[in-house]
Chain A
Amino acid sequence: MRKIENVICPVCGSLCDDITVYVEDNRVVEVENTCAVGRAKFLNYGLHRKPKPLIRKNGELKEASIEEAVRRSAEILTESKYPILYGWSSTSCEAIRVGLELAEEVGGIIDNTSTVCHGPSILSIQDVGIPSCTLGQLRHRADLVIYWGSDPYSAHPRHIERYTVFSEGRFQKSGWRSFIRRLSGKLVKKRLSRVAELILRRKLTFPEEKYALPPYFISEEERKLVVVDVRKTRTAEVADYFLQVKPNTDYEVLQALRMLVNDQDLEVDEVAGIPVRTLEDLADLMISCDFGILFFGVGLTMSKGKLRNVDAALSLVRDLNKRTKFLIMPMRGHYNVTGANVVFTWQTGYPYAVDFSLGYPRYNPGETSVVDILRRGECDAGLVVASDPVSNFPASAAKTLVDNPLIVIDPDVTPTSMMADVVFPSAYIGIEAEGTAYRMDHVPLRLKKVVEPPPNCLPDQEILARILREVRRIRRG
């Protein structure tokens, strides 16, 4: 059994790099330090993978050689007047670089999955900017952590322990002590009321104060965790304070907070159902911290108002810097969606939704973003890398995708790959192949290869490079 240390987990944007992997007979048999999601990926990857590329002939997917599949893919792409190349957030930066070159060569539209998650955040960053940092900065300094519309406990399970409230920093200690105190406080309260109920022989009900900030008996030195969401998430349960907002009212709440932070009075008594007193308390908490951080998730970017919710959040944090140090960071989902934005940007100037059809990069989400193009039925061929748009896209968009010739490069069998015309089963980046990925805070890390891929499963980068060579061969005669 081989032990490999400091392996990077290719699942979410936290990109934990302290994983230990045990390998036996070219198979991962045990992992340490991962969360449940990471563990599941390392131990169960590739169970349903096809052994060879597939090409659709007479309506059925048939096994084919890599060369045949490459040739068919190149034909599809060169014949197309407006192909889309989509995915890119679960593959390596090296593959994305080739992908961009391919998109440019065939005059296509290349877009990554941020188009359906943090694309709106990027549009707002382009309007107002973003004060941010790397995650270690928070570990050392943040004494107020806010998660807004994101639930790291479920989506980025080790985020809180590694980077924020429960991590030990140079200037800030872990907040687990206050958490334990709060937990035992709750237990004591429960026991006392139980005793009281036994004595009084009736059920006691305590009115729950929905919006007031809890009285702080925790010490000033410890970090505080605040969660804002439309429902009580698992993260909210460990939080010092949870503020529940009505769905689709984030924009109003954020704008109201901005006014309070700028020392202006609100005329109204409540904002979207939340008493202004409560917002004032929250604003005070934000102003009085030494170093605050606001994480926001898809709850903000994909609810009503979309990019403008993020606009307000970014502006709020920017305004707070007049009073204290406050930063903000999007909670990125896929392990390399940040990398996709980064590589797109250095090669083309734009982070996603890049249209090469005029021979140079053009960018205008809404016009050049893949979902919109598909919904308008404008594309005539597609290449999907490591993504499953058929399951995630609106039905009308998915229909255009599968009605036209479609190439899929993916280690997994997905609804998209089953509807495709050419399928390349590829190697798992970070398990069967090396590559670079960017953490949600833009820190690049080298993903490791811990086992060998099956013989006909090449890394994405290699498959794309072969298609590109074939496209060039066809074009230049």
Chain B
Amino acid sequence: MALLIRNGYVYDPMNGIDGEKMDILVEGGKIVDKLKSAEYEVIDASGMIVMPGGVDIHSHIAGSEVNAGRLLRPEDHAKDVELKTEITRSGVGYSVPSTFTTGYRYAKMGYTTVMNPSMPPLEAKHTHEELCDTPIIDKATYPLLGDWWFVLEYLRDGKIEECALHVAWMLYATKGYAIKLVNPGGLEAWGFGRNVRDIDDPVPYFNVTPREIIRGLCKVNKLLHLPHTIHVHTNNLGKPGNYETTLQTMKCVEDLSSGDKPCIHITHCQFSAFKGVDWREFYSGAEDIAKYVNFHKHVTIDMGQVIFTDTTTMTADGPFQYILHELTGNKWVNHDVETETSSGIVPFRYRRRSYVHSIQWCIGLELALLIRDPWRIFLTTDHPNAGPFTSYPQVIGWLISRKAREETLSKLNKRARETALLPSIDREYSLYEVAIATRAGQARALGLKDKGHLGVGGDADIAIYDVDPRKIDPSTQYDEYVKAFSKAAYTIKEGEIVVRNGEVVKVLDGKTYWVKVSSNSEYEVSEDMKRRFTEYWTVQFDNYPVSEAYLKRSKPVQVESEV
């Protein structure tokens, strides 16, 4: 069905369009400059905002750890249920929604592309099975490769090219999209209940440091020409004083960037920007991080903004999750995956009256407001770690309005309010900047060429929000924006209207993106590799890869590598 979206205020930062009143034409699932067919549906978007469909660079929506989180929290689901309708499946929320509900709720907010950031390669089939049951949105998933024995061994021996070939094979075998590192080296150490102290602390039994892993995989990423950079969850995440580790992590790949192209993404940076020595002497390190990012173009980061609510923390960072369990006494799930990674889950409540949580809330926003280039800081809550993705509109409210921030600040812990830098920051995001931080910037960082913009030839993934930027001032009437961003007037996915007035009206299956590396030296699986494989894993080599049949709509992204 062809569409004519008429008279909307269009925000399309990739094409430099900042709230111009214009028409958007859609045909064959793409944005076009002229409609071929005479029959088309007209959407009157006058007095509304038109943006590319939202893109989320980091949100735990599928896979074994998410599902373990679901299993762990019946009390979280029972308070938030979704009824079955004629077209949609039933489900539950809240912090770890069931798969169908995840798809619908993203679409209702005008999001159309979501990246699932942590997949244990051995359990990749599970992730893809869940992604198949996550409707409407396009998605991709990052395999966890930072603690994989093959990687550790190759990098220890300095064999970058072999490592690159293995990583390419892994991306193919797991149908993955980017290289994910979580507490590099620390997860292998967690196999024996230990951790690494900093980026120069060698991994027990492997004689390789986190620095070497990060640099090595960064080089691999370059050799393979992957669309996204390495996606890094830093060492020491969640520990006071860790902003120094984060700075070191960013610095250690400084020389590997070429031109203005970023080469590292520091994810949910809020959790990695803690200053201080313990939880009492605890401050924001956002200013130092922002200063560094402002002067170095090789880094992109996302916020990991804290929301004051009851949520479920889940990361592959086993040792961090154990600390969280000891800190809170809450129930704890740990799941170590042989030769690859680990994971942990702990329910968590962020409380306004807690000093630490209040500072954490400030850190996320400080990062977003102090980093000047919106193309390199993205809006996330590290769903569900710092809060569920359904809180994004609330975060947008805080970004566009100082008043909104003050409102929340006034309810925070007093000491936090008095020590934090945030109250003195005046900056308010424009809608143009919001469009960058929630779609355009994320799409660019991910190397998704057809996403995050409304230029001709782009995917017709469009979000229309019913709020008039000429009449309603974001700074003072932020409520209206929060409301509008929570319930898209229309969400259009591949040219089909899937959401109308915040309700799902059509369900379709999204695509799964994955990277297909073609290399010069045709990658062959040697007998040696197979032998090591049988030694390292408890499944046979043949039974390891995810076949394309596991992807409902497979969308391979071809890249030409240097090896």
Contacts and interface: CB of A to CB of B under 8 A. Distances in A.
Q: Do chains A and B touch in the complex (CB under 8 A)?
A: yes
A418 interface: no
Contact of A136 (B62, B64, B339, B345): B339
A356 interface: yes
B338 A341 contact: no
Interface string B118-130: 0000110110011
B538 A163 contact: yes
Contacts of A351: 71
A85 to B, nearest CB: 15
A104 B86 CA distance: 11
Contacts, number: 177
A363 B74 contact: yes
Contact of A321 (B90, B123, B193): B193
B84 A104 contact: yes
A442 B133 CA distance: 18
29 contacts: A17-B539, A97-B133, A101-B89, A104-B90, A127-B331, A133-B334, A133-B338, A136-B338, A136-B538, A137-B191, A163-B538, A291-B192, A318-B332, A321-B322, A325-B191, A325-B192, A327-B334, A346-B66, A346-B70, A348-B92, A348-B98, A349-B70, A350-B77, A351-B71, A360-B83, A361-B81, A443-B123, A443-B539, A446-B547
Contacts of B539: 17, 443, 445
Interface in B78-122: 78, 81-84, 89-92, 96-100, 122
Interface string B46-74: 00000000000000001010111011111
Contacts of A325: 191-193
A347 B336 contact: no
A256 interface: no
A347 B91 contact: yes
Contacts of B191: 137, 140-141, 291, 325
A129 B333 contact: yes
Contacts of B92: 348-350, 360-361
Chain B CB within 10 Å, residue with most, of A128, A170, A290, A443: A443
Interface in A96-113: 97, 101, 104
Contacts of A363: 74, 77-78
Interface of B: 62, 64, 66-68, 70-74, 77-78, 81-84, 89-92, 96-100, 122-123, 125-126, 129-130, 133, 191-193, 205, 322, 325, 331-339, 342, 345-346, 535-543, 547
B538 A442 contact: no
A227 interface: no
Interface of A: 5-6, 8, 17-18, 93, 97, 101, 104, 122, 125-137, 139-141, 162-163, 168, 170-171, 290-291, 318, 321, 324-325, 327, 341-343, 345-351, 356, 359-363, 436, 438, 442-446
Contacts of B543: 6, 8, 17, 445-446
A295 to B, nearest CB: 15
A352 to B, nearest CB: 10
Contacts of B91: 347-349, 360-361
Contact of B536 (A170, A438, A444): A170
Secondary structure dominating the interface of A: mixed
A294 to B, nearest CB: 13
A131 B191 CA distance: 12
Contacts of B192: 141, 290-291, 325
Given A291-B193, A346-B98, 20 more contacts: A17-B539, A129-B72, A129-B331, A133-B337, A136-B538, A140-B339, A141-B192, A342-B126, A346-B66, A346-B99, A346-B133, A348-B98, A349-B77, A356-B84, A360-B84, A360-B90, A361-B92, A363-B78, A442-B126, A444-B129
| Interface pairs A-B: 4 shortest CB-CB | A136-B338, A325-B193, A129-B331, A133-B336
B64 A442 contact: yes
A341 B71 contact: yes
A125 B72 contact: yes
Contacts of A101: 89
Contacts of A170: 535-536
Contacts of A347: 89, 91, 98-100, 133
B334 A132 contact: yes
Contacts of B130: 346
Contact of A438 (B74, B126, B205): B126
A436 B67 contact: no
B479 to A, nearest CB: 30
B90 A171 contact: no
A354 B403 CA distance: 45
Contacts of A162: 538
B125 to A, nearest CB: 4
Nearest to A133: B336
A444 B337 CA distance: 13
Contact of B90 (A290, A327, A359): A359
A129 B345 contact: yes
Nearest to A343: B129
Contact of A17 (B90, B535, B540): B540
A127 B347 CA distance: 11
A9 B345 CA distance: 31
Contacts of B98: 346-349, 361
A17 B533 CA distance: 14
B83 A131 contact: no
Contacts of B122: 134, 443
Contact of B333 (A8, A17, A131): A131
Contacts of A361: 77, 81, 90-92, 98
A318 B325 CA distance: 10
A327 B133 CA distance: 31
A122 B71 contact: yes
A137 B331 contact: no
B538 A360 contact: no
Nearest to A320: B193
A126 B312 CA distance: 13
A137 B337 contact: yes
Contacts of B67: 342, 345-346
Given A18-B540, A133-B337, A442-B123, A171 B205 contact: yes
Contacts of A327: 334, 336
A407 B325 CA distance: 46
Contacts of A163: 538
A136 B536 contact: yes
A140 B535 CA distance: 9
A128 B331 contact: yes
Contacts of B66: 346
A359 B84 contact: yes
A291 to B, nearest CB: 6
Contacts of A291: 191-193
Contacts of B96: 349
Contacts of B74: 126, 349-350, 363
Nearest to A434: B549
A356 B89 CA distance: 11
B122 to A, nearest CB: 6
Nearest to B337: A134
A70 B191 CA distance: 51
A348 B90 CA distance: 8
Nearest to B73: A126
